[in-house]
Amino acid sequence: MGKIISSKQLKNNKFLIKILTENQDLKNLKGNLKNIHIFTDECCTKEACVKERGNNKTTKYFQIPLTLRPKKRSYQKLISQKIESQKAIYYIYGLIS
């Protein structure tokens, strides 16, 4: 998890943003410094739920809310990433069409 320490609007309607982050967070990127997406937990307003099934509730299903599901189910790949912070655990899913 990083923190934006400064931002500046450029002439071409783009922004230059400087981010302060820990060394471990940079290592987690594994050298991938292109196509980085910035998000904040304050924008996570859709509620979701986890269903538990099986013996001792060992199988867990993350339900994607109907409002977030794509209308067409023709996607080639589902990708995911788990990010842990001191306050929360984030599961980020991407549907590649």
Domain that holds residue 19: 2-96
Q: Calculate the alpha carbon distances from 94 to 39, 64, 68, 84 in Å.
A: 14, 12, 11, 18
Q: What is the mean pLDDT of residues 12-26?
A: 90
**pLDDT for residue 10:** 94
> 16 falls in which pLDDT band (50, 70, 90)?
very high
Number of domains in the chain: 1
**pLDDT for residue 8:** 95
Residue type for 97, please? S
**pLDDT for residue 49:** 83
Q: Tell me the pTM.
A: 0.59
Which residue reads 């589902």 in tokens? 78
Give residue-wise pLDDT tens across range 30-87: 888 888 888 887 887 878 888 899 888 889 888 877 777 767 666 678 888 888 877 8
Measure the CA–CA gap between 54 and 8, rounded to whole angstroms: 52
